Structure 1
Amino acid sequence: MDNLIKIFNAGGFVMYPLLLGSILVIALAIERLNFWIKIGRRQTPMIRTILDLYQNRSPLVFDKLERERDLPIARIFMAGIGLKDATPDEFRLALESESHAEIPILRRFISVFDAIIGLAPLLGLLGTVTGLIASFDSLKIGQSVGAGSNNVVGGISEALISTATGVIVAVIASLCANLFRALYQRQLSQIQESTGQLELIHRRNWQQPG
């Protein structure tokens, strides 16, 4: 722990925003992982159940969706199924409108990861510049050899540590952003597939009332 504190202090003032950025990345990554794990564990069985219930015209379908409304796909299904005597076009528009409304929830915090990806290397570069300035400032003309060596070493340490920290934070944020983008794209595909199946069932039921 003492070594980490020494390294942190040696990195200069830019280590504080980089530390804040790393904490933010970790916290948001944990929140998003919990979100996607919940969806991955519950969504597919729920979709199968809802499609079966709706195909059989079961009155329990809306109650089932109410219990699962914390899932985005459940809220999308509810937007269509909740319409009374909806035509196929109205049903489709309701599903599409709610699907678009759910997109910001599915993409939540990706812009924050992108911002950190861009800012972290720049902060590291700023630490490099300030560290090198401190090093050159310590090399005074006319000084005896070794008189400013400690300051020079300190400045170089600040430059290297801040640069490395900025790159590490950016790499971690990039990995998280790419992972969550992939999960988002996969979710969009599943939403399109499942809403298409639900729309087809509704169209058949509408054409065959009762």
Structure 2
Amino acid sequence: MQSLGQILVAAGIVAIPLLAFSIVAIALIVERTIFWYRVNRRQEKVIKEVLKMYRTDPSLAVEKLERNVDLPMARIFLEALSLEDAEPEELALALDGATQAEIPILKRFSNGFDTIVTISPLLGLLGTVLGLIQSFSALNLGDVGGTKTANVTSGISEALISTAFGLVVALVTLFFANTFRGFYMRQLAMIQEHSAELELLHRRRYKKVLEASYATTTRDR
């Protein structure tokens, strides 16, 4: 069985960028895995507690959000609730604007993943072409079975290994990229669901405040 070094040597010059892409992909995968683990483990529980607190005391809900400001949805809610005496329409606009600001964070490195998935197979194909060129350049019809046969074998090996290397890098990266994309879509749906719930609670509270204010004004008259 060939060692990693032997495989890289056999893959030829394209092994260098492919190895670089694989290292970058691993770093991005680790970062996104840590990010989504933290979000998926804590966020839904925190937001449900915040909505429950908001029904009784909005100030407690804000304090809870401030303690969990590392979570995307906590930042969205905190941005909206920081508005003083906001009307329901203003709160809805604030939630929408804060959500749009969080989307790049949720989709972070998606372009990097797409680039690696697209370019890695092409680099593998380039290695295939270079390997075949080496094979044909070493081939001599008058020397079949001679000393140049080793060069032909080496060229074919380079062609096959570089292709396999590029496909492995692309497939592994694609798997994790699709997984993170699924987390993003789920998170977006959750943000929309809980934002609508917060808007409804705020609208009810705002209506009660208006009714109380109107009753006080009428009584004073």
TM-score (norm 2): 0.91
Deviation at 1:62, TM superposition (A): 1.5
Structure exhibiting the larger radius of gyration computed from Cα positions: 2
Give the Cα separation in 2 of the matches to 1:113 and 1:44: 27
1:29-61 CA-partner distances (Å, limit 9, x unpaired): 111111111011111111111101111124222
How many residues get paired? 210
Partner of 2:178: 178
SS at match of 1:69: coil
Deviating beyond 4 angstroms after TM superposition, the runs of 4 or more aligned structure 1 residues are none
What are structure 1's unaligned runs of at least 5 residues? none
Partner of 2:74: 74
Aligned-residue Cα RMSD (Å) equals: 1.4
Partner of 1:130: 130
Give the Cα separation in 1 of the matches to 2:171 and 2:183: 19
**Higher RCO structure, 1 or 2 (CA under 8 Å, sep 6+):** 1
Deviation at 1:147, TM superposition (A): 2.2
Deviation at 1:140, TM superposition (A): 3.2
Name which of structure 1's ranges 134-143 and 163-172 shifts more when overlaid on structure 2: 134-143
SS at match of 1:137: helix
Deviation at 1:141, TM superposition (A): 5.1
Q: Output aligned runs, 1:25-44, within 5 Å.
A: 25-44=25-44
Q: Matched residues, percent identical?
A: 50
Partner of 1:56: 56
Partner of 2:117: 117
What are structure 2's unaligned runs of at least 5 residues? 213-221
1:55-77 CA-partner distances (Å, limit 9, x unpaired): 11242221211111110000100
Partner of 1:24: 24
Partner of 1:65: 65
The structure in which a higher percent of residues are helix is 2
SS at match of 1:108: coil
TM-score (norm 1): 0.96
Give the Cα separation in 2 of the matches to 1:168 and 1:182: 21
